[in-house]
């Protein structure tokens, strides 16, 4: 199977993007450079192609019951045209994937990580029950994310929908640049903004219209490189780094989406036991005390003893210092704790600090 | 891709400019482009020894780290201290202001094993 192109591939190439293979797609990793792009999103607005993400449609009379069983958040709390952050777990409490669920009047849409599309689909299929239809619609949608404080003003220029009426984690069917879309106030950057889902044939016109409408706000296209640094500053977990099949939601700080009171779901017994016994380790955020950079997999030490490992690490363009996330033993996980990160043979001081590292000022 | 004809190169994407028995070392345009925004560089101190093919420092981009390998053996006689505060010079001007160290050669014959601009171009294309 060859590497797939999104509907926006030609536009990225013309814009001078560096395109790399990611999860089976050629994706723009950067245009001008990660630092520039990161700050552009924090200061005004940026436009991302995230069409590689997977979309599953779940419908039928037992769809809600099915989703209650396979995901950890409480789907019954979800109103029509509302979105919810959630995850799927294995029986042992390890995480299959983290995801968003969107509730339509007659169906649900689940958006999953690109690298996990096949695994997730097989997992859902295995647990499918009567009265539930599951369809992989990943190839039928393009997904764009317009993120940054000026995102609402930009979208408003291209739609008759009143975007100020769409609250955070709500969505609606709308037209943007005369094309039908799902317009959702969601994102992965910590900024205000929208995710716009549409048929691939509409994506180029919407992208171009948004770029044009956004020119007064210096809107720029943003690659996946900056998407990763943006999400890390606001400590959103990245599957494969900070969460995976070996981590449970409680130690990952995802207790707020783990609804043990809603009734039985896959993993609920194991997670209930973790809750009773207490977590043994915790995902923490830290900053380096000197110019040294933590990377995924580096060991974390406290008083010469290994107490954990780094799961994400990079230079924070906003804080202008090196930051990271990692799991450490519960007894060493308090804010203010001094740790050492083993950086290629050298132990360098770090301190656990309050997360998120960045909060938007508006 | 900029590959100046008057420089030598290594397979690890470093360039070497010969000035008598001293060489100037940096990374190529291709390397800085591949790394992306460089945010920190760790270089040896003046007076330290380098051994051919062994790491002499490291370079941190926003999302990745790479070792720097000494293209020749010798003694470090000068370090580009401007990179300490402005590592972005490596992105902006890899063959000019982005130079890293100067090494006084201990074995001039090691220069023979370096790649020419032509050979390096073939290597990366």
Is there a domain that residue A19 lies in? yes
A44 and A188 both lie in a single domain:
yes
A191 and A166 both lie in a single domain:
yes
- The count of domains in chain A is 3
For A129-151, write each residue's pLDDT tens digit.
999 999 999 999 999 999 999 99
Kindly list the domain boundaries of chain B, sorted by start residue. Answer: 8-107
A198 and A70 both lie in a single domain:
no
A170 and A112 both lie in a single domain:
no
Tell me what the mean pLDDT of segment A43-62 comes to: 98
Question: Strand A46-49 and strand A220-222: pairing?
Answer: parallel
Mean pLDDT of the residues in chain A = 97
Is there a domain that residue A272 lies in? no
A16 and A32 both lie in a single domain:
yes
Percent residues over pLDDT 90 in chain B: 91
For A288-341, write each residue's pLDDT tens digit.
998 889 999 999 999 999 999 999 999 999 999 999 999 999 999 999 999 999
A359 and A346 both lie in a single domain:
yes
Select from A70, A104, A139 the last residue of a domain.
Answer: A139
Q: Which of A33, A291, A295 shows the shortest C-beta gap to B36?
A: A33
For B102-121, write each residue's pLDDT tens digit.
999 999 999 999 999 999 99
Is there a domain that residue A336 lies in? yes
Between chain A and chain B, the number of residue pairs with CB atoms below 8 A apart is 37
A47 and A150 both lie in a single domain:
yes
Cα gap A311→B108, rounded to integer Å: 44
Residue A332's contacts (CB-CB under 8 Å, 6 or more residues apart) are A302, A307, A308, A339
Percent residues over pLDDT 90 in chain A: 98
Q: Which residues does chain A have within 8 Å of residue B64's beta carbon, measured at their own beta carbons?
A: 295
- B8-107 — its CATH code? 2.40.50.100
Q: Which of B32, B35, B36, B37 to mutate to test the interface with A (most CBs of A within 10 A)?
A: B37
Domain that holds residue A113: 54-139
Task: Tell me the HSE value of A267 on the side-chain side, using a 13 A CA sphere.
Answer: 27
Q: Is the pLDDT of residue A95 over 70?
A: yes
A194 and A227 both lie in a single domain:
yes
Q: What is the CATH number of the domain that holds A39?
A: 3.30.1360.120
Q: Is the pLDDT of residue B81 over 80?
A: yes
A77 and A161 both lie in a single domain:
no
Q: Which of B63, B65, B91 shows the shortest C-beta gap to A225?
A: B63
Whether the bond between A4 and the residue before it is cis, its omega within 30 degrees of 0, is no
Q: Do B36 and A315 touch (CB under 8 A)?
A: no
A232, A234, A233, A220: which is closest to A36 by C-alpha?
A220
Measure A49 CA to nearest chain B CA, in Å.
20
Is there a domain that residue A247 lies in? no
Q: What is the CATH number of the domain that holds A85?
A: 3.30.70.1400
Is there a domain that residue A168 lies in? yes
Measure A226 CA to nearest chain B CA, in Å.
9
Instruction: Read off the pLDDT band of A1 (50, 70, 90).
Output: low
For B14-67, write each residue's pLDDT tens digit.
999 999 999 999 999 999 999 999 999 999 999 999 999 999 999 999 878 889
pLDDT of B62 reads 87
State the angle between helix axes of A224-233 and A34-43 in degrees (0 to 180), rounded to the nearest 10.
60
Q: Which residues does chain B have within 8 Å of residue A30's beta carbon, measured at their own beta carbons?
A: 36
Q: Which residues does chain A have within 8 Å of residue B65's beta carbon, measured at their own beta carbons?
A: 293, 295, 344
B81 alpha-carbon distance from chain centroid = 14
A63 and A177 both lie in a single domain:
no
A201, A213, A196: which is closest to A8 by C-alpha?
A201
A224 and A104 both lie in a single domain:
no
Select from A139, A158, A179 the last residue of a domain.
Answer: A139
Is there a domain that residue A14 lies in? yes
Q: What is the CATH number of the domain that holds A317?
A: 2.40.30.110
Is there a domain that residue A94 lies in? yes
Q: What ipTM was assigned to the predicted interfaces of this complex?
A: 0.75
Is there a domain that residue A311 lies in? yes
Q: Which residues does chain B have within 8 Å of residue A228's beta carbon, measured at their own beta carbons?
A: 63
Instruction: Read off the pLDDT band of A344 (50, 70, 90).
Output: confident
For A159-200, write each residue's pLDDT tens digit.
999 999 999 999 999 999 999 999 999 999 999 999 999 999
CB-count exposure of residue B73 (10 Å: 0-12, 13-18, 19+): middle
Helices (H), chain B: 29-35, 82-85, 89-92, 117-124
Select from A139, A154, A178 the last residue of a domain.
Answer: A139
A294 and A170 both lie in a single domain:
no
């Amino acid at each position: 199977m060859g590497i797939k192109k999104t509907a926006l591939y030609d536009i990225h190439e013309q814009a001078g993007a560096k395109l790399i293979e990611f999860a089976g797609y050629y994706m723009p990793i950067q245009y001008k450079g990660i630092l520039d792009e990161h700050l552009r999103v924090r200061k005004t607005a940026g436009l991302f192609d995230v069409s590689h993400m997977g979309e599953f449609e779940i419908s039928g009379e037992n769809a809600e019951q099915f989703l209650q069983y396979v995901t950890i958040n409480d789907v019954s709390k979800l109103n029509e045209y509302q979105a919810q952050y959630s995850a799927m777990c294995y029986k042992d409490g390890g995480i299959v994937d983290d995801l968003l669920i969107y509730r339509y009047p007659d169906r649900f849409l689940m958006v999953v990580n690109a690298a996990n599309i096949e695994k997730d689909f097989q997992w859902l299929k295995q647990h499918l029950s009567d009265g539930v239809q599951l369809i992989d619609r990943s190839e039928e949608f393009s997904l764009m994310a317009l993120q940054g404080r000026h995102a609402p003003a930009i979208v408003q220029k291209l739609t008759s929908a009143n975007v100020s009426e769409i609250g955070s984690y709500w969505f609606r069917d709308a037209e943007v640049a005369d094309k039908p879309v799902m317009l959702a106030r969601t994102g992965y950057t910590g900024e205000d903004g929208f995710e716009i889902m549409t048929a691939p044939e509409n994506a180029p016109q919407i992208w171009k219209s948004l770029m044009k409408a956004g020119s007064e706000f210096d809107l720029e296209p943003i690659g996946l490189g900056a998407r990763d640094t943006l999400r890390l500053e606001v400590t959103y977990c990245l599957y494969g780094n900070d969460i995976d099949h070996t981590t449970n939601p409680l130690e990952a700080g995802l207790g707020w989406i783990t609804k043990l009171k809603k009734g039985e779901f896959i993993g609920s017994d194991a997670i209930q036991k973790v809750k009773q016994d207490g977590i043994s380790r915790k995902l923490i955020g830290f900053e380096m005390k000197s110019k040294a950079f933590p990377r995924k997999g580096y060991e974390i030490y406290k008083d010469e003893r290994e107490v954990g490992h780094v799961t994400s690490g990079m230079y924070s363009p906003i804080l202008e210092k090196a930051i990271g996330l990692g799991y450490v033993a519960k007894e060493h996980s308090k804010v203010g704790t001094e740790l050492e990160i083993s950086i290629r043979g050298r132990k360098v001081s770090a301190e656990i600090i309050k997360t998120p590292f960045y909060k938007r000022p508006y | 891709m900029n590959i100046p004809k008057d420089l030598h190169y290594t397979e690890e994407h470093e360039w070497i400019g010969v000035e008598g028995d001293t060489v100037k070392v940096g990374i190529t345009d291709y390397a800085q482009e591949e790394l992306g925004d460089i945010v920190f560089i760790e270089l040896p101190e003046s007076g330290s020894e380098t051994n051919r093919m062994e790491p002499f420092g490291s370079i941190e981009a926003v999302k990745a780290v790479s070792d720097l390998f000494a293209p020749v053996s010798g003694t470090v006689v000068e370090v580009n201290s401007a990179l300490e505060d402005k590592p972005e010079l490596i992105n902006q001007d890899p063959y000019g202001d982005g130079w890293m160290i100067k090494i006084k050669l201990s074995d001039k014959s090691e220069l023979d094993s370096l790649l020419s601009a032509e050979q390096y171009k073939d290597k990366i294309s």
